[in-house]
Structure formats: C-alpha cells, structure tokens
Amino acid sequence: MNGKVLIVDDEAGIRDVLKTYMEYEGYNVSTAADGLEAYEKASSETYDVILSDIQMPQMDGLTLVEKVHSVQPDTVIILMTGYASVNTAVEAIQKDVFDYIMKPFQNMYSVVQTIERGIERKRLFQERRTLIDDLRRTNDELTYNRGLLTKRVQEIDTELARRIERMSTLYDISQSISSVTDIEKLMSLIMDRIAGIIKDSVGVFWLVDSERTRLCKVVSIGLKGQDRLPGSIDIHEGEVGETLREGRTRVFKQGVQFSDARLLKLYEQEHISSMIMVPLQYETQLLGVLNILFRNGYEITDDDISMIKAVADQASVSIKNAELFAAQQRMFRETIEALATAIDSRDHYTSGHSFMVTEYSLAIARELDFDEERLELIRVAGLLHDIGKIGISDNILNKPGRLTDEEMEVIKSHPVLGRTIIESIGSLKQVANIVYHHHEHYGGGGYPEGLTGEDIPFESRILQVADIFHALTSDRIYRKAMPLNKAISILKEGQGTVTDPELTQLFLDLVEKGDIPLAVEQAPLVEQGI
C-alpha cells in the first residue's frame, strides 16, 4: 500500500535514512528539518502520515501535532525520540498521537509496520468521514423529501377538501332546486351557492322571453350597481345572445367583452376581469344564459368551468320543470275557474258568488299572513265551495218563494255532495274537507256535522264569514241585497254563535276600512249610520 509520508527531524542523517528506506518500500516521501517547516508543508499539502522527532529547534514535535491537526485533522502523526519521558508520552497520547517510536531504531521493518498501520488508520478515518458525510447528505435529502411530501400531502388535502366542497355544492344545488318551482327563487339559490364557493364571483341569469325576441334579466347577484343592468337585451345582438344562439360556453380569462355599452360600463365599474357565459338549454330548446363574472383578477380554473357548466345543466332542467309546473298550474286554475263559473251560472241571481267569496276569503287569509300554498288552498276551496249545488235541481235552487223543510234538506246536502265530487280528485283532499264544513256554526247547530268552535277547520271558518257576508250583500231570488249596515249588524249578531268571533272581527275591520269590494253598489257606511 503506498502513501504520502512526511519525515521531520533536525538530524539530516536520520531524515535521509528514513527517506531512502521508505521510498524503497514504495512510499511518496517528503522531509522537513523542523516543526515549523513541517507545519508549512502540511498547510499546503496533505499527508497520510507524519513521522516526526519531538525535540527540534523552532517548533517541537508536540506543538507540531497540535498545529497539523488544526489544518489536517485526519493526518496520522507518529512521534520518535531518544529521550522519552512519561510526561512526554502522556502529553503525546493527549494530543492524539497515533504511536511512539524509540530512537535509535532497533528494526526498520517495525517502523514500516507502524507507518503502514498509520496509513490504514488514515484510510479508516476517511472512510468513516465519507460514511458520515453520506449519512448526513442522505439525512438532509430525507428531511427535504419529507418536507416536500408533507407539502404535497397538504396540497392534496386542500385540493380534496375543495373538490368535496364543490361536489357537495353541486349535490346541494341539485337537491334544493329539484323542489323549487319558482324560477326567480331557483336562480337566486343557484347564484348564492356559486358565490359561496368562488370568492369574488357575481352573476346574472338571462332567460328568453315568451316572444323569443329578448333575453330578460331574471336574477342578478353580487353587483353593487345591479339596478343599472338593463332589464332585457336583444336576443340577436351582443355576446349574451351569441352564446345562446351558438349554444356554446364562452370563457373570457383576460378581461371581458361587451358590445352593449351599458353592460361594459357597469362591469368596468365593478372591476370585473374575467367571466364565463354558459347557454341554458333543454334538449333543443334554448332557455337563456348563465353569466358568471369575476372581480379583481380572479383566474378561472378548469374546475370552475366544469362546475358552472354542471350547474347550468341542472338549472336548465329545473327551469324547464318550473315552466311545465307553471303551465300546469295555469291549466288547473283555469279549470277550477271554469267550474266555478258553471256553479255560479246555476244560481241566476247570485252570479259571481264563488268568485266573490274567494276574494273575501283571500282578503282575510292575507291579513293572517298565509303563505302562498295556504292561499292557494283558500282560493280553490272558495271557488269550489258550492260545487255540490250542481247536483241540486233548478226548481229548488232557483225557487222564488220559501223553501219547504224537504227542499231545505236537499239544499243542505250540497256540502256533502261537494265533498264527494272534490274528493274524487286525489290532490284536493284538503279542499274537500274545507268545503264539507263551510256551513258549520261556531256555536253548534250548523250542518252537515254540527261541529263547534275550533273543531271546525280554520279555512272553513274563513269561507263561512265570506259566504254569509256575500249572501247578505247581494241580491237573492227571494230578496234584494241588504244595506251594508244591516249586513254588518247581522254578522255581529252571529259573531261567536254562527261565525268564528275573531275572524268575523277581522273581516268587519276590513269592511270598515273599505278593503272589501261589495257585490251591489251601496252608499258609504257613514251615511248608513255606522
């Protein structure tokens, strides 16, 4: 094994002998005459082993050990001396001297062996150092990778949370809009959900009008100046119309374009910097455009585009459903009104009775803040309350004179008959029950069941007040319409015995305020002494 050796001794003879011998053994050998020279050489060149005398001029061997190890910590140093003392030996060991050789040398071969062991030690040192360096590097890389991994896991977590949020928004939208039949409510709900997910987003729903010539703004959300948005725009012009006609989603990532100056100005003032326009269509029918706009340099992602397109698809189905529902409602209402007209036409003298009773009942219900669903119940029940009269013969219904007891019984059968007719329509079960009880008396003694007080359905009690008031204030076959003050006093007389006292009071207040249109023209109440 070859190695680089520095021999340090102030005696030239020893230096030369050792140099010659070591070179003969194949070592690369340099020499120095004292510690200082050796230190200078070790500062510019690396040696595997330094074989140094202890006592030398300028710098002794022990100082040299310290100095060399400060610049070359791995260099192995072997000391040699002819005057070894215990103190020197202890000091040498403390200074990390590898070995100690006594002069004069007994056996040159043992000197070579010591140097050889020194070189082996140096090699082990270096190996250990390389291993430590490798370990440290691996550790650093692991720490770095772990950091990267943690960051990536966090990114995936965030991405996952965002996706879950979007998925649940879509699910939420599909769940909540499937039951909404009011188009405006539907659009507001969708826009609210989108704004909840994408910060800085605002939106406008444009829907095609019935003439299919204009796009009407149905709902806009999030714009400070939304009142300045035009109510409608031409379907054949501009970017919104184009999106609809082409049936293609358009994405404006850098700035928005509008040939309509009003839109452009408004959106500029609102700092709109990007937008998506999605056509709303159901099969081949074009319904409108969903325009989602973003403020403050928001960068539209592919996820945003897919989410908004999915929302637009759902919205299109719901708009179509809402349209169908509205058409059905219209048809239903027309049918009920046609029935009411048929009922009223049976009784020649009280034409319009069903419509007027409905109007009065609705006035009471509105005063009680009924919701739209309950108002509809009142409307249908009012229009159909006397439908049972369809089954009563004209002779009895339009008899000018007093009715016999038997005829009266026939008349009294109309709520029962009415219930039977209405019950046959499955969705009108509640209406059937209201109609059935519209001739009950609050204090008892009414028909058909003779129920009292709150056992009578609330809606039936409302109809009853309206029914009696209209009967009193309209011309009948057997008498003319009563003056208003008389009708009021009759209602008051029956308050609590015939009719619900609170509902009667509420209605009378409306009459006094002039909120109830009368069947027959009458002088104002003041002139009638009330």
Stretch that binds Fe ion, among 152-160, 272-280, 384-392, 429-437 (CB under 5 A): 384-392
Q: Report the sign of the C-alpha dihedral through residues 366, 370, 371, 375, in that order.
A: negative
SS3 451: coil
Stretch that binds Fe ion, among 57-65, 298-306, 452-460, 461-469 (CB under 5 A): 461-469
The strands making up 76-81's β-sheet, listed across from edge to edge, are 28-32, 4-8, 49-53, 76-81, 99-102
Give the gyration radius of the chain's Cα atoms.
53
Least separation, in Å, of the C-beta of 530 and Fe ion?
Answer: 25
Residues 413-452 as x/- pattern, contact with Fe ion by CB under 5 A = ----------------------------------------
CB-wise, 459 or 467, nearer to Fe ion? 467
Number of residues binding to Fe ion, judged by CB under 5 A: 2
SS3 243: helix
CB-wise, 25 or 386, nearer to Fe ion? 386
Residue 386 near Fe ion by CB under 5 A: yes
CB-wise, 217 or 441, nearer to Fe ion? 441
CB-wise, 157 or 394, nearer to Fe ion? 394
How many Å apart are CA 485 and CA 473, to the nearest integer? 10
Stretch that binds Fe ion, among 20-28, 126-134, 166-174, 462-470 (CB under 5 A): 462-470
Stretch that binds Fe ion, among 76-84, 165-173, 390-398, 463-471 (CB under 5 A): 463-471
CA atoms within 13 A on the CB side of 56: 28
Q: List the interface residues with Fe ion, window 249-268 (CB under 5 A).
A: none
The residue type at 347? D
Enter the DSSP assignment of 257. Answer: -
Least separation, in Å, of the C-beta of 470 and Fe ion?
Answer: 7
CB-wise, 352 or 453, nearer to Fe ion? 352
Q: List the interface residues with Fe ion, window 464-493 (CB under 5 A).
A: 467
The residue type at 470? H
Least separation, in Å, of the C-beta of 450 and Fe ion?
Answer: 16
Q: How many CB atoms lie within 10 A of CB 356?
A: 24
CB-wise, 239 or 467, nearer to Fe ion? 467
Q: Where are the beta strands (DSSP E) in 125-189?
A: none
Q: Which residues are paired to 294 by β-bridges?
A: 201, 274
Q: Report the sign of the C-alpha dihedral through residues 119, 122, 124, 126, in that order.
A: negative
CB 187 within 8 A of CB 218: yes
Least separation, in Å, of the C-beta of 467 and Fe ion?
Answer: 4
Stretch that binds Fe ion, among 93-101, 382-390, 423-431, 447-455 (CB under 5 A): 382-390
Binding site for Fe ion (CB under 5 A): 386, 467
